[in-house]
Structure 1
Amino acid sequence: MSPSAISRPFTDGAYCPLVTPFKPDTEEVDYDALRSQVVRLANARMGIVVLGTNGEASHLSDTERAGVIRATRQALDSNGHTHIPILAGTGTGSAKETIRLTIEARDAGADYAIIIPPGYFSFAVGRDLPSLKKFFLQVLDASPLPVMIYNFPLNIASGAASGIDFDSDFVIDLAEHQNCFGVKLTCASIGKGQRIAIHTQSAAYKERHPRPFFIMPGYSDILLPALIARASGCITGTGNVIPKTIVKLYDTAVSALATGNAEQLEAARELQDLVAEADWAIVKAGIGGTKYAMDTYVQEGLGGVPRTPLPHASPAIKTMLASGLKRGLAYENSL
């Protein structure tokens, strides 16, 4: 099958899965706050991902999903960022509904889809690799958008896919499909990413595929070592709070690896130390804590509240964030 047509190229770099801000009194989507965050991240040169785990996609209606994408595209286009693509989460419980959501995402303005495996029936399909492969192949065949595989097994952040964890062999098989353009590895396995990269960055693979395959760790605390291991960048929720710092880390690391400059490599390592602290704080804080950090340390109302039943930040989380984000925020505010 030939790959889906694309209008805006996906590129290497640091990407942020945006939170979806909800109004405190009604829990309705705050589209004004969303647009502000989109522009803020785009101005920081961070890539845009919507309707992912951080975006509480499972809490949104189909109409709201489309509304988030349309608002994001409008914010980008009206602020001089017409070239920036939108990567939108469209995965749900069945292949049929995932395909429908992907078509609707395309119609609303998304350029690419990121799709998580169906976690609700993980007790039935979680270790049934043929069934999971059938799911993705069916989606890849029908999707009007290029698809990124989203690997998110159970960990401290959440169990978005109910423990389903793909190994490198599984991802490499899917990477041979012409409509599969990348993988997000929120399993934090650098070795897995490197094995996938060995395959997808080979001359033989490139001869078979007209566009690159992107390997994106789901955390920024491993960005430097992941780049050394052939990763393409990262997709990090911590970008909601310190986007300029993470982009600076990415730029410094890429330059150091390209030139072999020891001073730049040391600068990248020092930035990675700082980002690792902040990333861990955000992971422990969860979605409610991330939204609190945005409202408290970035701009009031930017993050909003989570939808019930996700918890708001507790006093302990707030105290932890004040300490865990201190160095990161100081550096962010200096840029």
Structure 2
Amino acid sequence: MSPSTTARPFTAGVYCPLITPFVAQTEAVDYDALTAQVVRLARARMGIVLLGTNGEASHLSDSERSAVIRASRKALDESGFTHIPIMAGTGTGSAKETVRLCVEARDAGADYAIVIPPGYFAFAMGRDTAALKAFFTQVLDASPLPVMIYNFPGAASGIDFDSDFLIDLSEHQNCFGAKLTCASVGKGHRLSAHTLSSAYKERHPRPFFVMPGYSDILLPALVCRAQGCITGTGNIIPKTIVKLYDTAVSALATGNAEQLEAARKLQDIVAEADWAVVKAGIGGTKYAMDVCVQAGLGGIPRAPLPPAPSAIQTMVTAGLKRAVAYENSI
């Protein structure tokens, strides 16, 4: 099968899975806050990922999913960012419905899809690698968008793909990458070594991107051939994470010891912030956006996800203090 095409190329770098802000009381999508965040991240040179775990995609109706993509595409275009692609989460319980969501995402303006394995029936098929491969093959065969595999055991009832499984899927012409929210640098290294080989490149006209799902391992992941990361912490400190990426890539390309030490120091800041955000969860991330970035930007989660309790509010504010100060200084 020939790979799906898009006018906006996906490139190496750092990407942010945006939160979806909801209005208090009604829980309606706050499109003004959403588009403000989309443009803010684009200005910081942070890539855009919609409708992921942070985006509470499972809490949205199909029409809301499409509306989020449409509003974000419109905001990017009107702000002069017509070249920036949108990747959208389309994974759901069945291959058939996932393909339908890929089509609807394409029609709404998305350029790429990111698909998580179907976790609901993990008790029945979590160890059935043939069934899981068949799910992804059906999606990859039919999706009009190039597909990134989303390996996140915590959000897929423990389903965790090893490097052999991911290397196998990487051979499909419509698979263009993998997001590894499993924190396995070694798994990413093996996958990168395979997809960066000259033999792989001869078989595939499009590059493959290995992206860890945490920014606290960005520097070591880049050393191990990753092409960036997709990090929820980018909602709060996008400029800092972009600077870490730029500094690390330059240091690794030139062998400059001073730049490498600067990247290590930036990684210290980002690792501290990333851990605070991971512990804070979605409610805490939204609270941090409202308090540390701009009031009203985060909004509330949709039930049953709770707003951040006072203990989380205190923890995340303290845990982000150094990073937010640095973000505001650059």
- TM norm structure 2: 1.00
The one-letter code of the counterpart of 2:35 is R
Q: Residue 215 of structure 1 aligns to a residue in which SS?
A: strand
The alpha carbon displacement at 1:81 in A equals: 0.3
Partner of 2:147: 147
Name the amino acid aligned to 2:191.
Answer: I
Quote the residue 1:283 is aligned against: 278
- Take 2:238 and 2:73, find their aligned partners in 1: how far apart are those partners? 19
Aligned counterpart, 2:87: 87
Question: Partner letter of residue 252 of structure 2?
Answer: L
Shift of 1:85: 0.2
Q: 2:259 aligns with which of 257, 261, 264?
A: 264
User: Which residue does 1:119 correspond to in 2?
Assistant: 119
Q: CA deviation at 1:112?
A: 0.2
Separation (CA, whole Å) in 1 of partners of 2:42 and 2:21 = 17
Letter in structure 2 aligned against 1:64: E
Q: Which runs of 4+ in 1 moved over 4 A?
A: none
Distance in 2 of aligned mates of 1:226 and 1:110: 27
Residue 231 of structure 1 pairs with residue 215 of structure 2:
no
Q: Which residue of 2 aligns with 1:72?
A: 72
Aligned-residue RMSD, C-alpha: 0.4
Tell me the distance in 2 between the aligned counterparts of 1:70 and 1:36. 14
Give the deviation of 1:25 after TM superposition.
2.0
Alpha-carbon deviations, 1:255-295, whole Å to 9, x = none? 00000000000000000000000000000000000000000
Residue pairs, 1:1-335, within 5 angstroms: 1-153=1-153, 159-335=154-330
Matched to 1:129, the amino acid is: T
Query: For 1:279-317, what per-residue CA distance to the aligned partner results, in whole angstroms no more than 9, with x for missing partners?
Result: 000000000000000001101110110000001101100
After superposition, the C-alpha distances for 1:187-218 in whole angstroms (9 at most, x for unaligned) are: 01000000001110000000000010000000
- Aligned-pair CA distance for 1:41: 0.1
The number of aligned residues is 330
Q: Distance in 1 between matches of 2:85 and 2:297?
A: 22
Letter in 2 for 1:109: G
Aligned counterpart, 1:156: none
**Distance across 2 between alignment mates of 1:254 and 1:73:** 29
Report the identity percentage.
80
Spell out, residue by residue over 1:208-238, the C-alpha distance to the aligned partner (whole angstroms, 9 max, x if none).
0001000000000000000000001000000
TM-score, scaled relative to structure 1: 0.98
- Residue deviations 1:138-158 (CA, integer Å, cap 9, x gap): 0000000000000001xxxxx
Matched residues in 2 for 1:151 and 1:219: separation? 12
Q: 3-state SS of the aligned residue for 1:9?
A: coil
Match of 2:155, SS?
Answer: coil
Structure 1 runs not aligned, ≥5 long: 154-158
Q: Report the 3-state secondary structure (helix = DSSP H, G, I; strand = E; otherwise coil) of the residue aligned with 1:234.
A: strand
> In the TM superposition, what is the alpha-carbon distance from 1:107 to its structure 2 partner?
0.1
Task: Please list the CA deviations of residues 107-162 of structure 1 after superposition, one character each: whole Å capped at 9, or x if unmatched.
Answer: 00000000000000000111000000000000000000000000001xxxxx2101
| Matches of 2:297 and 2:125, distance apart in 1 | 38
SS at match of 1:204: helix
CA distance in 1 between counterparts of 2:229 and 2:75 reads 23
CA distance in 1, matches of 2:28, 2:263: 40
Give me the whole-angstrom Cα distance separating, in 2, the residues matched to 1:247 and 1:40: 13
Per-residue deviation at 1:323?
1.1
C-alpha distance in 2 between matches for 1:257 and 1:192: 20
